[in-house]
Structure 1
Amino acid sequence: MSRTKETLWERWVTRTVLEDITAAETPDPVEIVDDSGAELTRTDAYDDYRLGRGAGDYLYLLYLLDEPVETATDIIPVYVGETGNIANRLLEHFRRLRDSLPTTEWADDGSWGSYSKYDHIATVYERATSPLYVWGCDIDEREQGPYGFPTYRHELEAKIVGLAHSHPRFTRALANRDFVPNRVPQEMAKVGPEWVGLEAETPNEEARMIRETPTVNVTGETKGALWLEWVDQTIRREIHDPEMVDPIPLFETDEDLTVALTERGQLKRSAAIETRIRAEGKQCVNADGVKEGQSGLLYVLYQLESTTPSPEEIVPRYIGKAEAYGKKNTLSANFEEIAKDRAGTQKFARWGDGNAYHVGELTNTVFGDDSKKRSWASELFEQGTHRLKAQTYLWVRAWDNQQYPSPYGYPAYLAEAEPLLIGLAYAASPETLLNHNEVPADAPANTRAFEFQPVPREEPVGK
């Protein structure tokens, strides 16, 4: 069998959903909606199914069947989710689906999310010849995810959504908004229910890109080893390349690693990282909006344990992305300053000085105006100072599958690559990674009692 994301999806569905559908001892397929009465109700099988699940971490799938069901391609994903309380989550899904019907009453109110995932699921339900079904599994009972490695529910959801969105057959039925490119919900919002198409059609942009990008062999036998392999081919390689300026410090500092402040009292980014962010951002956008090609920036905040580091000596602190497309507007607000060559850096591809952006939030935490970045301040700075414990660097690149390897060797779009890399970095370095989302609820970043003594301000910001 060829090594493609299509075959990965089909192999995973075959040994999970399809296996349960064909097994005599399971209740699958479980129909969700009983439409035999004057009002829509839940089927008894659906209630038995959701209430019969025990406590635990679950992945679940809402899906259609293309009868007769013979192979994995006859199972059409509509929504992929994860939860720690499957009985309540599935009850909520039914209620929200019911309240979204009929879709003829849907009206665009002009806000982002006006055409919600529930409107989308309701449209699929109305237009499909198949009933809408549910399947769920306790993740602890499934030793491996689709890539062949142990996984946790947040990561598994991202993996399954990524495979489904990359499949050329599921362009319009899939209702997920997370872990798909921002471009997709933005395009959905423009047309509402007319977005949904259930017949095979032209593959989406990601499916076409993935078909054109070869799968690369990886050798890591654990997720931690795969992280080191990826770091070796990206961050470490550029650090050791004499033609590159990496590693690039995030902040301007003195010899004691005290971070300089701007005239407004903000932590000051280094000139080199501002140059890198603008240069990489310009690969994604220009004055006319989003360019064809790279869809945004991937970044890794890290520290080094050596001046000539091995992959093991590159310590991950935070992994994130900034997509060039916005969810509401074609050009993301995060890229407006870069696209229009403005001097301002309030947003700056997520690394801006504004109160909702990384440097702004960290500044506010360091100086006691807020606490959103308490874990960052605690781990990166000496208590009561704006002096770094160790030099801190930022690797930031326009995400390009042709230039940079994907986490598991299979081509991945930006919104998919980010959570997959977080999963690998967490496996390799759970104690140092400061991501709070896309990691388990019991990860150190979510359970450790971070403390930071703020720096007293000598005078108000802006004076």
Structure 2
Amino acid sequence: MASKEDVWNQWIDEYVSYDQPIPLYDTDAEGTVSVKRHGRDNRPVLRRSRQMESHLRTEGWKVVEDWKDSDDNYEGVIYMMYTLDGDTLVPRYIGKAGKYGRDDEGLSANLQNIRTNNTKFARWGDGYAYHIGELSAVVLNHQDDESVNRDRDPKGKYQKWADALFVPDSRTLREEIYFWARAWQIEDTGPFYGFETSLEALEYNLINLASDLFPDRLLNSEGA
């Protein structure tokens, strides 16, 4: 019977190409992330790399076109933030952006205008309540902005990200952070048994595997 490590590695080898990894952030030679301005308040946000944005737009657009054509070949986008330990891919965060909105018919707001708008950007957007926006609020110290209506403490989850990924009180990365995404087709197979696996089940299985194999590195709390 295959070990969890074997199952993980086999799936990674099949689906995740990281021989030329895509950096998540735009950084200088010292690993300091550059900043841009976003929103009506012109607040600072961490800048994603152009390679990352191009990659996510390409994968996200496959899902958008599938929805427009009613082909139902794709379920959404699976994504992973990761680091490298030698030749070993170390997952840091795993998530998804499903194709449908809350009514299970309309296109998800996370994917709308993905080629032109960075606010939501398949959950990696610059807006508050999205990964880059919330992480920027912590790292760049504007998480207490009273103009933002928040349902929960803006720290917590993204404070954990900031502590794990950045040198304290700076926007310099502890190590290079990479990004991978894939438009998930209904015929694609998950890490167990080689069967077709839904996007929701895939995310669940990957998080569970990664939390067992990399318990001190994975930043997911939901599903771990």
Q: Same fold (TM over 0.5)?
A: yes
Aligned with residue 375 of structure 1, among 160, 181, 190: 160
List runs of 5+ in structure 1 lacking aligned partners. 1-219, 241-245, 440-463
- Percent of aligned pairs with the same residue? 38
The answer for the alignment partner of 2:2 in structure 1 is 221
Cα separation, partners in 2 of 1:424 and 1:297, compared to 1, 3 Å: same
Q: Does the Cα contact within 8 Å between 1:290 and 1:330 map onto a contact in 2? A: no
The answer for the alignment partner of 2:57 in structure 1 is 278
Distance 1:263 1:250 in 2: 18
Query: How many angstroms does 1:239 deviate by?
Result: 2.4
Query: How many angstroms does 1:234 deviate by?
Result: 2.2
Higher Cα Rg: structure 1 or 2?
1
Q: Does the Cα contact within 8 Å between 1:366 and 1:386 map onto a contact in 2? A: yes
Which amino acid in structure 2 is aligned with residue 406 of structure 1?
G
Query: How many angstroms does 1:405 deviate by?
Result: 3.6
Q: SS in structure 1 opposite 2:185?
A: coil
Larger proportion of strand: 2
The answer for the alignment partner of 1:250 in structure 2 is 24
CA deviations 1:79-103 (Å, max 9, x no partner) are: xxxxxxxxxxxxxxxxxxxxxxxxx
Query: How many angstroms does 1:250 deviate by?
Result: 0.7
Aligned with residue 209 of structure 2, among 421, 424, 428: 424
Query: How many angstroms does 1:287 deviate by?
Result: 10
Q: SS in structure 2 opposite 1:337?
A: coil
Q: SS in structure 2 opposite 1:225?
A: helix
Q: SS in structure 2 opposite 1:284?
A: helix
Distance 2:70 2:208 in 1: 29
Would you say 1:361 and 2:134 are equivalent positions? Answer: yes
Would you say 1:263 and 2:37 are equivalent positions? Answer: yes
Query: How many angstroms does 1:225 deviate by?
Result: 2.5
Aligned with residue 83 of structure 2, among 283, 296, 303: 303
Aligned with residue 92 of structure 2, among 307, 312, 317: 317
Distance 2:212 2:4 in 1: 6
TM-score by length of 1: 0.42
Distance 1:253 1:373 in 2: 20
Query: How many angstroms does 1:330 deviate by?
Result: 0.9
Q: Counterparts of 1:7-22 in structure 2 under 5 Å?
A: none
Q: SS in structure 2 opposite 1:327?
A: coil
Distance 1:227 1:364 in 2: 33
CA deviations 1:401-439 (Å, max 9, x no partner) are: 54x541102210111111011111112111111100111
Q: SS in structure 2 opposite 1:263?
A: strand
Q: SS in structure 1 opposite 2:206?
A: helix
The answer for the alignment partner of 1:386 in structure 2 is 171
Instruction: Tell me the number of residue pairs that the alignment of Structure 1 and Structure 2 aligns.
Output: 204
Q: Does the Cα contact within 8 Å between 1:224 and 1:428 map onto a contact in 2? A: yes
Q: Counterparts of 1:7-406 in structure 2 under 5 Å?
A: 221-235=2-16, 238-240=17-19, 246-264=20-38, 265-286=44-65, 289=68, 291-292=70-71, 293-306=73-86, 309=87, 313-328=88-103, 330-338=106-114, 341=115, 343-368=116-141, 369=143, 370-371=154-155, 372-400=157-185, 402=187, 404-406=188-190
Larger proportion of helix: 1
Structure 1 stretches of at least 4 aligned residues deviating more than 3 Å after TM superposition: 286-291
Query: How many angstroms does 1:230 deviate by?
Result: 1.2
Q: Does the Cα contact within 8 Å between 1:281 and 1:296 map onto a contact in 2? A: yes
Cα separation, partners in 2 of 1:430 and 1:287, compared to 1, 3 Å: closer
Q: Does the Cα contact within 8 Å between 2:67 and 2:99 map onto a contact in 1? A: no
Q: SS in structure 1 opposite 2:181?
A: strand
Aligned with residue 199 of structure 2, among 402, 409, 414: 414
Q: Greater RCO between the two (CA within 8 Å, min separation 6)?
A: 2
Distance 1:423 1:287 in 2: 29
Query: How many angstroms does 1:290 deviate by?
Result: 6.7
TM-score by length of 2: 0.85
CA deviations 1:219-244 (Å, max 9, x no partner) are: x6222331122112222xx223xxxx
Q: Does the Cα contact within 8 Å between 2:66 and 2:74 map onto a contact in 1? A: no
Q: SS in structure 2 opposite 1:317?
A: strand
Distance 2:25 2:5 in 1: 28
